């Protein structure tokens, strides 16, 4: 069976009742199936069922998502390297809210992520008589200046400070696990290559060097394709 068909079977099987009641797959179902199909990362059938659950349904209201978008863009404003939208940060909030829903997660979506929006709104209302979404960027920054730093010991703000740290963490982790974020970070790996030690100019930068005795025992990459053979004392001879 082709992967697409097997995914369909697994997912339709798992939500059997609700879908088989319908005589056919609706266009909406088709879109959802496509969404799961987009993520091709070696899932077991149990995991596919979980992904389907996580990628379907709606946790945050559109207003809440708009607030998250606004917060995320102030935490990490767009620049020439990349922005929140292209990094899929708001989508990640929605997915994590549904994904961190095992008993061990202790209602993370409700008690942490949604709670954050409620608490930020409360502070905005106290200060400006309106919800965060209706505040200007300058007004929101006045609020964030109070809750974004760990050195603020104001007891009334400790919950907000904790929750803001989660929002900041989510925004940055979402950004730096995205394609543009990883490019900005400069990470160069995750591709087949041949490691032959720290580049000489880097060694120089740090005033470190390889011991000759150590390096003489290391792999000669020009001979990596020759099948290994040893003498009887275990000395490599190829």
Partner 1 sequence: MEIIKSKKEYDVIVVGSGAGGGMATKILSDAGISVALVESGPYFDPANPEQQTQLKWPWESPRRGAGTNRAFGDFHMSYGDWSLDGEPYSSVEGTSFKWWRSRMLGGRTNHWGRISLRFGPRDFKSKDFDGLGENWPISYEDVKPYYDKLDKLVGVYGTKENMFNEPDGFFLPPPKPRLHELFYIKGARKSNVKVMPSRLSVLTKRINNERGICFYCGQCDRSCSVYGDFSSSSCLVIPSLKGGKVDLYVNSMVNEVMTDNNGRATGVSFINKENGRDYKIKGKIVVLAASACATARILLNSKSKAHPNGLGNSSNLVGKYLHDTTGAGRGVFIPELMNRKTYNEDGVGGMHVYSPWWLDSRKLDFPRGYHIEVGGGMSLPQYGIGWNPNEFNKFFGLRTGGYGDSLRNDVKKYYGSTVYLSGRGEAIPLKENYCEIDNDTKDKYGVPVLKFRYKWSDYELKQVKHMHDTFEEIAYNMGGIPLGTKPTKKDNYGISVPGEIIHEVGTTRMGNDPKTSVVNKYERLHDVDNVYVVDAAPFVSQADKNPTWTIMALSMRTSEYIISELKKKNV
Judged on CB neighbours under 10 Å (0-12, 13-18, 19+), 165 is: middle
Closest distance between partner 1 and the C-beta of residue 196, in Å? 7
Closest distance between partner 1 and the C-beta of residue 222, in Å? 11
| Cβ partners under 8 Å of residue 180, min gap 6 | 81, 82, 83, 86, 87
Nearest to partner 1 of 3, 22 (CB atom): 3
Nearest to partner 1 of 24, 217 (CB atom): 217
Closest distance between partner 1 and the C-beta of residue 24, in Å? 27
Q: Which of 57, 50, 160 is nearest to 105 (CA)?
A: 50
Nearest to partner 1 of 130, 223 (CB atom): 223
Nearest to partner 1 of 16, 39 (CB atom): 39
Closest distance between partner 1 and the C-beta of residue 64, in Å? 19
Closest distance between partner 1 and the C-beta of residue 115, in Å? 18
Q: Which of 52, 58, 43 is nearest to 19 (CA)?
A: 52
Local structure of residue 113 (DSSP, 8 states)? I
**C-alpha dist (Å) from residue 7 to 24, 42, 54, 149, 218:** 17, 12, 15, 46, 46
As a whole number of Å, the end-to-end CA separation of the chain is 45
Q: Are 49 and 32 in contact (CB under 8 A)?
A: no
Closest distance between partner 1 and the C-beta of residue 22, in Å? 25
Nearest to partner 1 of 110, 230 (CB atom): 230
Q: Are 167 and 71 in contact (CB under 8 A)?
A: yes
Nearest to partner 1 of 73, 121 (CB atom): 73
Residue 53 CA to residue 11 CA, distance in Å, equals 9
């Amino acid at each position: 069976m082709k992967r697409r068909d097997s995914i369909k079977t697994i997912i339709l099987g798992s939500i059997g009742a609700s879908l088989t009641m319908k005589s056919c797959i609706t266009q909406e179902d088709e879109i959802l199936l496509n969404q799961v199909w987009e993520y091709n990362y070696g899932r077991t059938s149990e995991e596919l069922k979980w992904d389907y659950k996580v990628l379907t349904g709606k946790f945050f209201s559109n207003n809440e998502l708009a607030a998250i978008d606004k917060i995320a863009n102030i935490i990490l404003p767009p620049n020439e390297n990349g922005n929140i939208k292209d990094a899929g940060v708001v989508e990640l909030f929605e997915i994590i809210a549904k994904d961190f829903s095992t008993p061990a997660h202790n209602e993370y979506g409700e008690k942490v992520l949604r709670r954050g929006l409620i608490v930020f709104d409360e502070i905005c209302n106290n200060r400006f008589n309106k919800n965060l979404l209706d505040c200007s960027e300058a007004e929101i920054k006045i609020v964030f200046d109070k809750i974004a730093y760990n050195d603020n010991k104001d007891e009334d703000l400790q919950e907000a400070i904790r929750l803001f740290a989660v929002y900041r963490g989510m925004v940055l982790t979402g950004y730096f696990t995205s394609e543009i974020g990883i490019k900005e970070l400069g990470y160069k790996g995750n591709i087949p290559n041949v490691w032959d030690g720290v580049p000489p100019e880097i060694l120089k930068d740090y005033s470190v060097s390889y011991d000759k005795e150590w390096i003489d025992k290391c792999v000669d990459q020009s001979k990596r394709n020759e099948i290994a053979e040893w003498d009887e004392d275990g000395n490599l001879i190829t």
